[in-house]
Structure 1
Amino acid sequence: MYNGISRKGEYAIMPLNFHQLHIFHTVAERGSFSAAAQALYMTQPAVTMQVQSLEEYFGSKLFMRSSKKIELTEAGKVLLPYAKRSIELIRETDQAMTSFTQQQKGRLTLGASLTIGESILPRWLGPFGKEYPNIGISMKVMNTSHLIEELETHQLQFAIIEALIEHPDLHIEAVMEDELMLVTPADHPLTEKTNLQLEDVLEYPFILREQGSGTRQVMEEKLMENGYNPQQLKIVMELGSTGAIKSAVEAGLGISFLSLSSVKHEAALGLIRTLPIENVTFKRQFYSVYLKSTLLPIAAVTFLNFLRERDLRQWL
């Protein structure tokens, strides 16, 4: 019987399952329903009901009951070795998977959008690698739109991106909050200004990521939320990586909005400045994404649980 339908086309009370076979085996092994109930931490009526369901499924009595004892019928004797084998197989399966998950062997293959892949994921992968030394890691770094294409065409199974997208076939889950900050050369005129306003910032030349970048998407969305058209920005340069933008800003070629996590080192060295803007924040989330139809390999599930359960900011 499958999906609750018996061989005769009638609906059964309950489909065959391991739980029933386990109860049947325990009754046969213990020699009574009461002893089986005690061993299984169940009530005797519950044990009886499960055995009756099994008998209804097979259309045969499995036990001969008397006032003093129970004995297996011929049908019960046929079923008993199969029930025993199913229990042994479940135990072996559990032992094998427990051993595997404890050792956590495998290869983690993931994609990352550029800011995350260049500046953030490496700081997470270090602690992850120490905790799970038997998992190898491969990472593709590209902008968000290209990552989505690779997920759709099954070239990637799992990715971390920096902009929220709408896609009916993707499972999307926030894993950490981040913030974009205004980044300027160390000696830029804006560094002398107090109570910096957004309109003050938009007067200066900008260096931005390319179209399709998650960072640029978030920045443009936040500008529109505050009543500004992103097309009015004075864009003097579009670069394909966060590292290139940081170098260009440091060289005095323009200003930009970049992830605070990606510029902490340069800001600490005084090479660039990060400036708050009055009454405006550019907060965003980082997201894990994968196709809803994809069964993630155990290495990816392990890493996703790592992201969910740890305070990721401690490594940034």
Structure 2
Amino acid sequence: MTLDQLRIFLAVAERGHMTRAAEALHMSQSAVSAAIAALEGQSRVALFNRVGRGIELSAAGEAFVSTARAVIAQAGLARTVLDDLANEPRGRLRLYASQTVASYWLPARLIRLHERFPHIEVSLTIGNTAQVASAVAAGSADLGFVEGDVSEENLKRRVVARDELVLVMSETHALAGATTLEAADYRGQAWILREKGSGTRSEFEAHLAQMGLAVADLDVALEIPSNEAVLSAVAAGSCVSMVSSRVAGSVRGICQRPVVWRDPPVRDFAVLTHPERHRTRAIEAMLGILDLNGRQAG
């Protein structure tokens, strides 16, 4: 029994199809079939039932899935440990970042990481702040980057940069030239907001509280889970929104107004780590890049 045979077995088990498993593994169907046949022959156990031209897990195959996954996971951990023992940081670094951080702040740091440690393989997933925190807590991400506070109490949060939200609207909007704004001005607009769980949304709600308002007091036309989509919608119509100043200049036709009528809505960019999980040399390398560069606003 080999690790490759186990990986092939799991690919077929998860897809219930030889051809789709072969495509996912970038192998020929005959090679996949041969690996399954060899595994079954060595163990003298039928792991799959052949039904016509289809295939499905047998009772024995279903019982074997969890064990096979555990072996593959342990093999991955062994590879991580060996990579970590190398003189130069290497191995895989799994990052999860909220949209503004991932699109406008993190890329420059990843380039610096690659220039200094080219053997570190980085994978980046983008979501909102709540999703990032959940991934780090669950161990499916090594480091998380968020735009505000998180509810996961078992995570360590360290500020690495600062960000300010600005009011945005089309260049022809009536508020573009207003000298000051009050709660009544907010109530009189149609708003486009980021989704619940995003750092932008939570910071905007804190700003509304300063104005004596809540989201329920506003005319919310749309909630959109994308900074760029929010700006495109604002530029195309009469709605207003509040987004990061780093984002606001990315779409033409947008007027951005810093908040001067209340305390500016300033938030932190922070890195999340799990204090009970092992820090590989790749993780330490990324944290070192943040120590050198991350506290700069740019």
Q: What's the TM-score, normalizing by structure 2? A: 0.66
Q: How far does residue 243 in structure 1 lie from its aligned partner after superposition?
A: 1.4
Matched residues in 2 for 1:198 and 1:130: separation?
49
Q: Give the deviation of 1:185 after TM superposition.
A: 1.1
Counterpart code for 1:264: G
1:208-244 deviations in whole A, cap 9, x for unaligned? 1111111101110222134222221211001111111
Q: Quick check: which has more Rg, 1 or 2?
A: 1
Match of 2:39 in 1: none
Does residue 291 (structure 1) correspond to residue 279 (structure 2)? The answer is: no
When residues 171 and 311 of structure 1 are mapped into structure 2, their CA distance, relative to the original with a 3 A threshold, is closer
Q: 2:113 aligns with which of 128, 131, 135?
A: 128
2:257 matched to 1:275?
yes
Mapped partners of 1:187, 1:279: distance in 2: 24
**Contact 2:167–2:257 (CA under 8 A) maintained in structure 1:** yes
Output one character per residue of 1:260-299: Cα deviation in whole Å (capped at 9) or x when no partner.
1122333xxx521110232331100011112221122221
1:306 aligned onto 2:270 = no
Aligned structure 1 segments of 4 or more residues deviating by more than 6 angstroms: 96-99
Asked if the contact 2:157–2:271 (Cα under 8 Å) also holds between the matched residues in 1, the reply is: yes
Distance 1:249 1:150 in 2: 31
Alpha-carbon distance, 1:170 to partner: 0.7
CA contact (8 A) 2:211 2:262 kept: no
- The equivalent of 2:41 in structure 1 is none
Q: Does residue 161 of structure 2 align to residue 176 of structure 1? A: yes
Q: Provide the secondary structure at the position in 1 that maps to 2:249.
A: helix
| Amino acid in structure 1 at the alignment position of 2:266 | K
> Does the aligned pair in 2 maintain the 1:182–1:274 contact within 8 Å?
yes
Q: 1:203 to 1:131 in 2, by over 3 A?
A: farther
TM-score by length of 1: 0.62
Q: Which runs of 5+ in 1 are unaligned?
A: 1-95
Deviation at 1:245, TM superposition (A): 0.8
CA contact (8 A) 1:106 1:134 kept: yes
**2:128 aligned with 1:164, yes or no?**
no
The equivalences for 1:1-316 within 5 A come to 100=87, 103-197=88-182, 199-266=184-251, 270-277=252-259, 278-310=261-293, 313=296, 316=298
Aligned residues: 215
Q: SS of the counterpart of 1:265?
A: coil
Alpha-carbon deviation of 1:194? Answer: 1.7
**Contact 2:207/2:265 (CA < 8 Å) preserved in 1?**
yes
- Contact preservation (8 Å) 1:224, 1:230: no
Report sequence identity in percent: 27
1:41-93 CA-partner distances (Å, limit 9, x unpaired): xxxxxxxxxxxxxxxxxxxxxxxxxxxxxxxxxxxxxxxxxxxxxxxxxxxxx
Q: CA deviation at 1:130?
A: 2.5
CA contact (8 A) 1:111 1:139 kept: yes
Unaligned runs of 5+ in 2: 1-82
**C-alpha contact (below 8 Å) 1:118/1:242 kept by paired residues:** no
Amino acid at match of 1:310: N
Cα pair distance change 1:129/1:205, threshold 3 Å: same
1:122 and 1:300 map into 2 onto residues whose CA distance is 16
Provide the C-alpha distance between the structure 2 equivalents of 1:276 and 1:303, rounded to a whole number of angstroms. 32
1:307 deviates by 1.3
Preserved CA contact (<8 Å) 1:144 1:161: yes
